[in-house]
């Protein structure tokens, strides 16, 4: 009986060692992704905030998500005053950053520039999309539905995402 028990213990201890090794690999991979996301998300949030402020000056209303109330503290004047990161806010945890058009001109409410983290081919990718409503259509049984078009503007694995490429892309979009 003792021999069988020892053999069973060997099986379980080898399985346990393999699972422990996999767990460490996953934790290291998640840690590396969080570090990459932290700096990238800080940069993207700051960039989108600058765009939001610029358009707010000319009375074009955007919604920024995550909302500035979640990540920024304005000790002086909002929105043009100095600000700092809200204590406890973790930029690495943000999965989607977007600027959403809220202006009512030309009925174009809902156009959005989105930055998402998506899983593709077993790797985390950074994807930038531009979404806009092409119009509405009435369906007999479900009513009015919006017809959306989504253009993928940029997609790279997280470890190959280039901030300079993103800045060029955003500059082209803001100019148009």
Q: What pLDDT sits at residue 152?
A: 96
Provide the CA 8 distance to its chain's centre, in angstroms: 46
Q: What pLDDT sits at residue 169?
A: 94
- Judged against a pLDDT cut of 90, whether residue 166 lies above it is answered with yes
C-alpha closest to that of 89 among 105, 73, 107: 73
Report the share of the chain in percent with pLDDT over 90. 51
Please name the residue that has the structure tokens 């996953």: 26
d(CA 24, CA 20): 6
pLDDT 10s digits, 20-55: 777 766 666 655 667 788 999 999 999 999 999 999
Residue 12 is given by DSSP the state: H
Q: What pLDDT sits at residue 2?
A: 47
Averaged over 3-16, what is the pLDDT? 67
pTM above 0.85, yes or no: no
Range of the domain at 83: 2-175
Q: How many domains in the chain? A: 1
Phi and psi at 15, nearest 5°, equal -65, -45
Please give the residue that has the higher pLDDT: either 8 or 93: 93
- Judged against a pLDDT cut of 50, whether residue 1 lies above it is answered with no
Q: How confident is the model at residue 109 (pLDDT cuts 50, 70, 90)?
A: low
pLDDT 10s digits, 44-101: 999 999 999 999 998 888 999 999 999 999 998 888 889 999 999 999 999 999 999 8
Alpha helix (H) residue ranges in 58-146: 68-71
Q: What pLDDT sits at residue 153?
A: 96
Exposure of 111 by Cβ count < 10 A (0-12 exposed, 13-18 middle, 19+ buried)?
A: middle
Q: What pLDDT sits at residue 5?
A: 53
Residue 93 is given by DSSP the state: G
Q: What pLDDT sits at residue 21?
A: 76
């Amino acid at each position: 009986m003792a021999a069988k028990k020892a053999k069973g213990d060997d099986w379980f201890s080898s399985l346990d060692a393999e699972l422990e090794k996999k767990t460490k690999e996953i934790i290291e991979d998640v840690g590396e992704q969080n570090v990459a996301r932290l700096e990238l998300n800080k940069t993207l949030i700051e960039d989108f905030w600058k765009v939001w402020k610029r358009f707010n000056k000319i009375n074009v209303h955007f919604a920024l998500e995550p909302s500035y109330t979640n990540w920024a503290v304005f000790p002086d004047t909002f929105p043009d005053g100095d600000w700092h990161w809200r204590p406890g806010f973790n930029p690495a945890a943000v999965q989607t950053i977007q600027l959403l058009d809220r202006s009512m001109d030309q009925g174009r409410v809902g156009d959005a520039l989105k930055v998402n983290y998506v899983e593709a081919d077993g790797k985390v990718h950074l994807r930038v999309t531009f979404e806009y409503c092409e119009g509405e259509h009435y369906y007999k049984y479900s009513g009015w539905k919006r017809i959306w078009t989504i253009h993928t503007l940029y997609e790279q694995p997280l470890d190959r995402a280039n901030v300079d490429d993103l800045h060029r892309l955003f500059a082209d979009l803001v100019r148009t």
